[in-house]
């Protein structure tokens, strides 16, 4: 063992943890395939797939895989689904082909969801797939199909278990008062032993497993889960496995769910998991499918921010992936066949924002050159694509999907301008590969006063820092919305030729029930704090009814380069506001 590793391990042991330490190089080596994969399939399949969102003929609210909860079923009632589980159309090779043809590199399937039902042949439980008419080990067939196709197999495993008598509590924030089974004598530690036994089965009997995707850990702390012990077991059985953050330890990657963090999670591996409609497990009535454009642009957006996309399918009780999912995945796969090099093994964009689309990056091994993959959502009508702020010399450019068309690139005052011949290659996203000298050197986008002297800071020109806030564009709004995290903040880089003695006006909307937040608007140059002003968000009637609220007094803006930041001082309700713009008007 290298001295660094020995030191790291001894520190971990001294801290009372027995988790094996690893050096940065070892961690990077273990994460390499996952970081290069960028795109995986999530599969929610189980007894709930048979129910398809209905119980005794009645539609049940919420996601399909939560039907036991939302139908208020005792385990004994829910068990009536077991004799109906016989997915005769299940074909593991077909599922894996659909994933592979979509350009996905790994598959994460529910080995056990919150209902406690094991989709594999478990020797420690009769509440498993062998106790159904199907009597086939789904995990065995799928892991073998993945191996045949060269995809990585991952396991989803729920800590929360609504069936096992030792699982406690019978529900906390999502209480399950109808679950009247006695709790006397129940032991959570005994449940954890059971969970560790099933994890041992899953990590021993099915070959190399690439991902352990914990879920349902929110009812206990890491300590209550004996999380370090569980992780050590996992890593002993599968030393190269990648583990998510949902046993309440950070582990290898974060898991934003159903959303894309505005600026990604810099310095952290992360993966957005998302449904194609609104439910993870199959629900016949849920036909609210996201378009292929939305799904593909989500993939590009996520990868441009340095993340992975785990896109879900919920197979039917017969074992078929719904046609609406198959159709979308096939269309994504068609795009990936042409543009996969702009997704796989790329890293985050060096730009804060690009008006025409996104950028993914590939720094060539020697660092002497970089490929910037420019994903063009809005093809320029005049054929001129301006990459503002790029200081590098262009070496050349090519259009993915049409090598016959020549793309030229020239440096100008405001970055590099590409001349794109003809029409867009793809209506959803056309990719231009721009080769540049060295590592990306990008100037921050700066806002300058308009011709009338007014400094207008617009939502679309802002940098959003944080997890939930995001730019929204619709017929009735262009604003920074979803501002539900008080730690999220907004910035503009500004440059003034001369100082400005100004009044300021903020344009925003806020539904009545959410008003009252206080935000600080600060103008600061590096190492030189400047003026700031407090805004108390008033109700404007709705999230799309925008008003202009002047800030009290005058603000003296400095000449030169500085940053205008909007930070949340207090957020008494669930959201701050929909921020459209801030205008600084010269007072004289």
Q: Tell me how crowded residue 112 is: count the other CB atoms within 10 A of its CB.
A: 30
CB of 11 to ligand FHN, least distance (A): 33
CB of 276 to ligand FHN, least distance (A): 13
With CB under 6 A as the contact rule, the residue among 280, 344, 562, 584 that binds ligand FHN is 280
Count of residues engaged in binding ligand FHN, rule: CB under 6 A? 7
For ligand FHN, which residue has the nearest CB? 280
From CA 112, how far away is CA 128, in angstroms rounded?
Answer: 9
CB of 64 to ligand FHN, least distance (A): 9
Asked whether position 273 contacts ligand FHN by CB under 6 A, the answer is yes
Residue number, 213 or 373, with CB nearest to ligand FHN: 213
Instruction: Say which residue the tokens 């003034």 belong to.
Output: 496
Residue number, 65 or 245, with CB nearest to ligand FHN: 65
Asked whether 276 and 325 are in contact (CB, 8 A), the reply is yes
Biggest CA-to-CA distance, the chain: 82
> Contacts with ligand FHN in 213-232 (CB under 6 A)?
215
From CA 113, how far away is CA 160, in angstroms rounded?
Answer: 8
Residue number, 298 or 369, with CB nearest to ligand FHN: 298
Q: How far apart are the first and last CA of the chain?
A: 71
Strand partners, 214: 157
Instruction: Say which residue the tokens 């789904």 belong to.
Output: 138
Asked whether 214 and 108 are in contact (CB, 8 A), the reply is no
Asked whether position 63 contacts ligand FHN by CB under 6 A, the answer is yes
CB of 129 to ligand FHN, least distance (A): 18
Asked whether 254 and 197 are in contact (CB, 8 A), the reply is no
- For the beta sheet containing 308-313, the strands, ordered from the edge strand earlier in sequence to the opposite edge, are 242-243, 211-215, 152-158, 106-112, 39-43, 308-313, 271-274
Stretch that binds ligand FHN, among 62-70, 88-96, 350-358, 457-465 (CB under 6 A): 62-70
Stretch that binds ligand FHN, among 9-17, 58-66, 118-126, 138-146 (CB under 6 A): 58-66
With CB under 6 A as the contact rule, the residue among 257, 318, 476, 556 that binds ligand FHN is 257
Half-sphere exposure (CA, 13 Å, Cβ side) for 278?
9
Residue number, 215 or 491, with CB nearest to ligand FHN: 215
Residue 6 makes CB contacts below 8 A (sequence gap 6+) with none
With CB under 6 A as the contact rule, the residue among 65, 252, 269, 301 that binds ligand FHN is 65
Question: Residue 83's Cα: distance from chain center in Å?
Answer: 36
Stretch that binds ligand FHN, among 63-71, 370-378, 401-409, 451-459 (CB under 6 A): 63-71
Q: What is the DSSP letter of 445?
A: P
CB of 218 to ligand FHN, least distance (A): 8
Residue number, 43 or 199, with CB nearest to ligand FHN: 43
Q: What is the DSSP letter of 359?
A: E
Helix (H, G, I), strand (E, B) or coil at 12: helix
Pairing relationship of beta strands 54-55 and 152-158 according to DSSP bridges: unpaired
Residue number, 310 or 390, with CB nearest to ligand FHN: 310
Stretch that binds ligand FHN, among 59-67, 200-208, 225-233, 437-445 (CB under 6 A): 59-67
Residues that bind ligand FHN (CB under 6 A): 63, 65-66, 215, 257, 273, 280
């Amino acid at each position: 063992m290298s001295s660094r590793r020995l030191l790291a391990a001894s520190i971990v042991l001294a801290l009372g943890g027995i988790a094996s330490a690893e050096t940065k190089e070892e961690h990077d080596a273990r994460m390499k395939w996952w970081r290069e994969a960028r795109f995986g399939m999530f599969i929610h399949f189980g007894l709930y797939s048979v129910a398809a969102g209905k119980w005794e003929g009645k539609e049940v609210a919420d996601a399909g895989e939560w039907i036991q909860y939302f139908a208020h079923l005792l385990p004994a009632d829910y068990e009536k689904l077991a004799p109906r589980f016989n997915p005769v159309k299940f074909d593991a090779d077909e599922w894996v082909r659909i994933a592979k043809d979509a350009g996905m590199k790994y598959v994460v399937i529910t080995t056990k969801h919150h209902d406690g039902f094991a989709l594999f042949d478990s020797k420690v439980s009769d509440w498993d797939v062998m106790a159904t008419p199907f009597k086939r080990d789904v995990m065995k067939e799928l892991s073998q199909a993945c191996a045949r196709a060269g995809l990585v197999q991952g396991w989803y495993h729920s800590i929360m278990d609504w069936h096992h008598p030792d699982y406690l509590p019978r529900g906390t924030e999502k209480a399950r008062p109808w679950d009247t089974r006695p709790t006397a004598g129940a032991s959570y530690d005994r449940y954890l032993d059971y969970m560790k036994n099933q994890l041992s089965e899953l990590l021993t009997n099915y070959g190399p497993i690439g991902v352990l995707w914990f879920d349902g850990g929110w009812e206990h702390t890491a300590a209550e889960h004996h999380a370090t012990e569980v992780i050590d077991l996992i890593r002993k059985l599968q030393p190269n496995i990648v583990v998510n953050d949902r046993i309440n330890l950070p582990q290898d990657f974060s898991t934003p769910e159903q959303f894309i963090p505005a600026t990604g999670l810099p310095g952290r591996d992360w993966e957005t998991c998302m449904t194609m409609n609104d439910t993870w497990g199959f629900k016949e009535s849920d036909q609210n499918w996201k378009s292929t454009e939305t799904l593909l642009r989500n993939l590009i957006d996520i990868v441009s921010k340095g993340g992975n996309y785990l896109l879900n399918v919920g197979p039917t009780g017969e074992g078929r992936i719904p046609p609406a999912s198959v159709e979308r995945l096939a269309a994504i796969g068609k795009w990936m066949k042409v543009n996969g090099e702009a997704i796989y093994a790329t890293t985050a964009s060096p730009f804060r924002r690009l008006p025409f689309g996104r950028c993914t990056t590939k720094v060539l091994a020697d660092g002497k050159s970089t490929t910037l993959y420019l994903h063009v959502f809005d093809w320029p009508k005049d054929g001129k694509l301006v990459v503002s702020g790029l200081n590098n010399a262009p070496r050349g450019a090519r259009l993915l999907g049409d090598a016959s068309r020549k793309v030229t690139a020239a440096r100008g005052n405001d970055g590099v301008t590409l001349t794109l011949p003809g029409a867009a290659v793809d209506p959803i996203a056309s990719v231009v590969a721009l080769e540049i000298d060295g590592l990306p050197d990008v100037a921050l986008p700066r806002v300058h006063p308009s011709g009338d002297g007014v400094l207008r800071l617009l939502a679309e020109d802002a940098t959003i820092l944080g997890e939930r806030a995001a730019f929204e564009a619709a017929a009735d709004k262009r604003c920074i919305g979803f501002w539900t995290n008080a730690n999220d903040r907004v910035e503009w880089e500004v440059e003034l030729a001369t100082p400005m003695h100004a009044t300021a006006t903020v344009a925003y909307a806020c539904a009545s029930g959410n008003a009252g937040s206080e935000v600080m608007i600060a103008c600061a140059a590096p190492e030189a704090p400047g003026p700031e002003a407090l805004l108390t968000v008033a109700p404007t009637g709705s999230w799309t009814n925008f008003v202009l609220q002047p800030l009290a007094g005058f603000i003296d803006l400095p000449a030169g380069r500085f940053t205008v930041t909007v930070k949340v001082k207090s957020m008494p309700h669930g959201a701050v506001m929909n921020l459209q713009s801030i205008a600084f008007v010269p007072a004289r």
